[in-house]
Amino acid sequence: MDFLFTPEALSALLTLTFLEIILGIDNIVFISIVVGKLPEEKRVRATNIGLALALVLRVVLLFAITWVISMQDSLFSIDTAKLSAEINGQSLVLIAGGLFLLYKSTKEIHEKIDHAGEKDAKVKDKAANTMGRILLQIILIDAVFSVDSILTAVGMTSGITGALWIMIIAVVVSILAMMLFAHPVTRFVHKHPSLQILALSFLILIGFMLIAEGAHLADLRVMGQHVGSIPKGYLYFAIAFSLGVEFLNMRFRKKKV
């Protein structure tokens, strides 16, 4: 294990761990929203199970790294006058996950705004028996985020000795950090209704980003123009800026009261 203590390996480990924690914010936001449909006493358990599943999925994918990389092989092609693409497994997973996030986030916003008053009681009654359904949604989105996370990890550690162990350590540390912060984040989000809508809006952005990244991996061209991926830094800057504005609003409202 001496290879882990080389400057190159340590630098890659620290950078990748930090990046995995940042990428894990997506997972925490999604889990905090969906577990809100459960009774309060079941939320902690559902969150822990969801994050444990994320850890297991990512470690399994790391050991099956050859299979993950092979998902770059083209499954089928689209070639028309205005549209062309080489669809592969990675692009399908990311596009499907992005569409699921768009659907789920829009549906949740619709429930919280349009039906907040008249259907609240029905939603709560129905939520009491949705642990299995909530966990299924968490598993689905964990799979998508896991593939995205592993692709990032592979790209960052390519050519480094002991890359697999570096990726495993970074993933385990990032999931443990997510477990540490997930419950406070969930409680805080559900204590402030405006933050719930903001978090759902972030999920819509993340869903769009996943679709764009999937299209980029599929080498999608629309009328000759290549669809590029959206740099994650832009997305997280927008999220951080929006959160900063919202926290200022919360502080201002608190002072007025």
Separation CA 211–CA 232 (nearest Å): 13
- Is residue 125 very low, low, confident or very high in pLDDT (cuts 50, 70, 90)? very low
How many CB atoms lie under 10 A from the CB of residue 5? 9
- 84 forms bridges with which residues in the sheet? 79, 221
Q: Which is nearest to 182 in space by CA: 37, 15, 5, 52?
A: 52
Residue-wise pLDDT for 70-122, tens only, equals 677 788 888 888 888 888 887 888 888 888 888 888 887 887 776 555 455 45
pLDDT of residue 61: 78
The pLDDT of residue 136: 81
State residue 128's pLDDT score.
46
Asked if pLDDT for residue 124 goes beyond 60, the answer is no
Question: Can you give the pLDDT at residue 114?
Answer: 67
The pLDDT of residue 164 is above 50: yes
Residue with more model confidence, 130 or 205: 205
- The whole-chain average pLDDT of the chain stands at 77
State what percent of residues in the chain have pLDDT above 70: 86
14: Cβ contacts below 8 Å, ≥ 6 apart: none
The pLDDT score that the predictor gives to residue 200 is 80
- Indicate yes or no: pTM above 0.85: no
Rg (CA), the chain: 20
More confident residue, 26 or 158: 26
Confidence bin at 1 (pLDDT 50/70/90): low
pLDDT digits (tens, 9 = 90+) for 198-256: 878 888 888 888 888 888 888 888 887 888 777 777 777 887 888 888 888 878 877 76
- Measure CA 76 to chain center: 27
Q: What is the pLDDT of residue 115?
A: 54
The length of the chain in residues reads 257
